[in-house]
């Protein structure tokens, strides 16, 4: 019995922490266009509404008209509504505001189910990727970027798995960078690009030369300003993402 009580107490404590974290997240969050808020004025059903902030960040509210809510926390919006209602309309109104619905988070690129997903407080990059069905086969886990609007300007960030995601964020998962090796190598195929990659290292990734390889006639095909160009390449020359390395057969 004591064990059961302890487990129930522990569960209740955990639930309290989760609820507290959710409340704190809502209190710190600044509202913006597209967010939906619930306004409750106790004892005044006609003034209790659920509404969405328009593209200018304003909330259409009974009696008060268009309220500028963008950039405010729910606590600040509560105080604004209470202040505007006081005196002319009500005496000491008891106002409560909460976020009823956040803007969606958008996940594009190399995930299994790209698209928009409902934001929930505490969302991180790894949880957002999970919402989108996980990484696709060609996803580069090192090339994930996030676009976020800050003070009206779009800013681009590199992301780690534990970084926080906010409503309206746009996540882009890029395809992993690769080079292509064909011809007289042991394992022709595609290989992940690595910074500092040279032809010598590329040939090593492909298992080395075959006995028929012509080491002096290796060519690389490279995209230059949208056009594919081909030229000779030496063992110490750098190799870049998208390069196609061709090792011809020698004349014996």
Instruction: Give per-residue pLDDT as tens, 155-195.
Output: 999 888 899 999 999 999 998 889 999 999 999 999 988 88
CB 217, CB 232: distance < 8 Å? yes
The CATH architecture assigned to 31-101 reads 2-Layer Sandwich (3.30)
**Can you give the residue ranges of every domain in the chain?**
31-101, 105-175, 178-247
What average pLDDT score do residues 50-68 get?
93
CB 138, CB 175: distance < 8 Å? yes
Report how far apart, in Å, the C-alpha atoms of 241 and of each of 68, 175, 208, 222 are: 49, 11, 20, 9
Say yes or no: domain 178-247 is CATH 3.30.450.40: no
Of 121 and 108, which is predicted with more confidence?
Answer: 108
Same-fold call for 31-101 versus 178-247:
no
- Going by C-alpha positions, the residue among 102, 135, 108 that lies closest to residue 116 is 108
Give pLDDT, residue 252.
Answer: 56
CB 120, CB 100: distance < 8 Å? no
Pairing state between β 244-247 and 219-224: antiparallel
User: What whole-number distance in Å separates Cα of residue 129 and Cα of residue 108?
Assistant: 10
User: What whole-number distance in Å separates Cα of residue 201 and Cα of residue 25?
Assistant: 49
Angle between helices 74-85 and 2-28 (to 10 degrees): 70
CB 243, CB 220: distance < 8 Å? yes
Q: 68-82, 150-164, 207-221: which has the minimum mean pLDDT?
A: 150-164
| Mean of the per-residue pLDDT values of the chain | 86
The listed CATH number (3.40.50.1100, 3.40.50.720, 3.10.560.10, 3.30.70.100) that belongs to domain 105-175: 3.10.560.10
Report how far apart, in Å, the C-alpha atoms of 56 and of each of 15, 59, 81, 141 are: 37, 9, 18, 36
Residue 23 confidence class, pLDDT cut points 50, 70, 90: very low
């Amino acid at each position: 019995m004591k064990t059961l009580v302890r487990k129930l107490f522990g569960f209740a404590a955990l639930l309290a922490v989760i609820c507290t974290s959710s409340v704190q997240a809502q209190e710190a969050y600044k509202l913006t266009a597209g967010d939906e808020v619930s306004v409750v004025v106790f004892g005044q059903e006609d003034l209790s509404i659920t509404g969405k902030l328009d593209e200018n960040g304003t909330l259409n509210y009974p009696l008060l008209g268009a309220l500028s809510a963008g950039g405010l926390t729910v606590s600040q919006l509560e105080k604004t509504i209470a202040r505007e209602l006081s005196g002319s309309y009500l005496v000491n109104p008891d106002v409560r505001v909460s976020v009823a619905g956040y803007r969606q988070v958008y996940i594009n690129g190399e995930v299994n189910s790209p698209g928009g997903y409902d934001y929930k407080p505490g969302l991180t990059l790894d949880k957002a990727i999970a919402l989108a069905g996980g990484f696709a086969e060609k996803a580069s886990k090192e090339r994930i970027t996030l676009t976020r609007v800050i003070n009206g300007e779009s800013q681009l960030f590199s992301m780690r798995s534990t970084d926080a995601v906010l409503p309206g964020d746009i996540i882009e998962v890029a395809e992993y960078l690769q080079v292509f090796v064909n011809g007289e190598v042991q394992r022709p195929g595609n290989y992940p690009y690595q910074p500092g990659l040279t032809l010598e290292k590329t040939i090593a990734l492909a298992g080395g030369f075959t006995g028929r390889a012509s080491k002096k006639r290796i060519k690389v095909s490279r995209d230059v300003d949208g056009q594919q160009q081909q030229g000779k390449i030496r063992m110490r020359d750098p190799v870049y993402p998208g390069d196609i390395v061709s090792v011809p057969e020698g004349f014996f």
